[in-house]
Amino acid sequence: MLPRPAAPARRPFCPARITPEMTPPPSQQIFDDAYYRDPYATYARLRAEGGVHPVLLPDGSPAWIVTTEAEVRAGLTDPLLSVNKQHSGTGFKGFSLPPALDANLLNIDASDHLRLRRLVSKEFTPRRVENLGDQVQQSCELLARRLVDRVTSHGSADLVAELAAPLPLTVVGDLLGVPEHDRAPFAARVSAMLEPQSPADAAAAIVGLHEDLLDLIALRRREPDDNLISGLISVRDEQDRLSENELLSLAFLILMAGIDNTQHVISSGVLTLLQHPDQLEALRADPALLPEAVEELLRYTTPNHTAIRRFPTTDTKIGSTVVPAGDTVLLCLASAHRDPSRYPDPDRFDLGRRDKAHLTLGHGLHYCLGAPLARLQIRVALEVIMSSLPRLALALPAEKLSWRRTFRSHALKQLPVTLGSVS
């Protein structure tokens, strides 16, 4: 492998090389209680003030947030915006991953990315996803029955815990070849990493996931089967085109992204439909609209509000702002999806919307390899919920629901539901 380029020297966030007429205002602390209650109001204000803003992240580190659809879409394919942390010059923190987990597709550019993507694509085939279809259907129907039983015995149930979370865990477990008894610890560690109680909890979760994946790869070397990990091991061991760290980090990425993101689209999607009964009734009347519903939900309820952070490799103009090399750039997908210059009446959830094109699953080089599987799970989950739970309702007012308190995603912690209208 080619040696990594040396990281650029660190320098202050306020860049001296920007011309006076382009000098940005002081960094804003936008991630406050109002943001966590309603991030879309914050995005609307930022868009009205301009497309690119210097902000302080919750940990105090500086970044630039890009809020308009045109600039976000362009940024996702801009070769000057690198995902490789070696180009960070602003002290970006983020997850502190061991090298064995850090060589994944979210952290590498161009030639190495394309090489790994081609290798994974040969194993992550449409046929493999298609073969999972029956398993997704069966798993979702089983979970729906358990949810009904839970509501019947307790009066209400948490749709996140009973259906939205275990479904992708089961599917990704099957895809990777994770033994059933190991799946719950995997999921618990992913949750602890993404929403830790403390930095120590996050670090412990990452160490645990690393050890779990080492054990899984060792198991599939001894007992290969027809799953994705076994296929990637074959590429690693027999064809020597994949390093051991790349194998580990790819498994880590599939596990993390496959479980967390799909779970949140399902739970937020159900909430959105319950809050828009006219759209829900239209969907019940014509289930052929399900694919349209999935796309509008992916736009409307984007689980990750920002794409993976990027670092300009040289001073780069984004809109009318020059962002210095090495600074952290956040392309805000959720703001882009509510940009009125791109979507008419963007805050309206509308299954009949003509233009449902979105950036939730990526764009360009970093388009999600698991997009077909994510769409399949969301569609099946909505189909089963509508047919199995015709009187589903929220168990408490929507404003009392609890959301994950992180700037990168707007995700429900729980979704308490009943099987009838709340009086």
Q: Which residue has the higher pLDDT, 304 or 27?
A: 304
Q: Residue 81 phi/psi, 5° resolution?
A: -100, 105
Q: Where is 191: in which H helix or E strand?
A: helix 180-194
Residue 8 has pLDDT above 80, yes or no: no
Q: Report, as an integer, the average pLDDT of 23-34.
A: 79
Confidence of residue 4 (pLDDT cuts 50, 70, 90): very low
Confidence of residue 27 (pLDDT cuts 50, 70, 90): confident
> Measured between alpha carbons, how far is residue 181 from residues 177, 184, 216, 305 in Å?
12, 7, 12, 32
Per-residue confidence (pLDDT) for residue 111, from 0 to 100: 67
Confidence of residue 11 (pLDDT cuts 50, 70, 90): very low
Residue 150 has pLDDT above 60, yes or no: yes
pLDDT digits (tens, 9 = 90+) for 170-191: 888 888 888 888 888 887 887 7
pLDDT digits (tens, 9 = 90+) for 76-134: 999 999 888 888 886 565 556 777 777 666 777 776 777 777 777 777 777 777 777 78
Per-residue confidence (pLDDT) for residue 185, from 0 to 100: 82
pLDDT digits (tens, 9 = 90+) for 13-23: 333 334 434 45
Is 2 a domain residue? Answer: no
Number of helices followed by number of strands (H, E) in the chain: 17, 10
Is 243 a domain residue? Answer: yes
Is 309 a domain residue? Answer: yes
Domain that holds residue 68: 21-418
Residue 423 has pLDDT above 50, yes or no: no
Supply 221's token pair: 């070397």
Q: Report, as an integer, the average pLDDT of 329-352.
A: 96
Residue 360 has pLDDT above 80, yes or no: yes
Q: Report, as an integer, the average pLDDT of 52-66.
A: 92
Residue 412 has pLDDT above 50, yes or no: yes
Per-residue confidence (pLDDT) for residue 89, from 0 to 100: 81
* Dist CA 319 CA 49 (whole Å): 13
Is 1 a domain residue? Answer: no
Give the mean pLDDT of the chain. 84
Is 15 a domain residue? Answer: no
Report the domain count for the chain. Answer: 1
Check which CATH number belongs to the domain holding 289 and give it. Answer: 1.10.630.10
Per-residue confidence (pLDDT) for residue 246, from 0 to 100: 81
Confidence of residue 366 (pLDDT cuts 50, 70, 90): confident
Is 314 a domain residue? Answer: yes
Residues 6+ apart with CB under 8 A from 152: 419
With H, G, I as helix, E, B as strand and everything else as coil, classify residue 417: strand
Per-residue confidence (pLDDT) for residue 125, from 0 to 100: 72
Is 337 a domain residue? Answer: yes
What's the whole-model pTM score? Answer: 0.86
Q: For 299-357, what is the HEC assignment?
A: HHCCCECECCCEEECCCEEECCEEECCCCCEEEEHHHHCCCCCCCCCCCCCCCCCCCCC
Q: Report, as an integer, the average pLDDT of 1-25.
A: 41
Q: What percent of the chain has pLDDT over 90?
A: 37
* Dist CA 311 CA 63 (whole Å): 10
Residue 284 has pLDDT above 90, yes or no: yes
Q: What order do you get walking across the sheet with 62-66 strand by strand?
A: 52-56, 62-66, 329-331
Is 320 a domain residue? Answer: yes
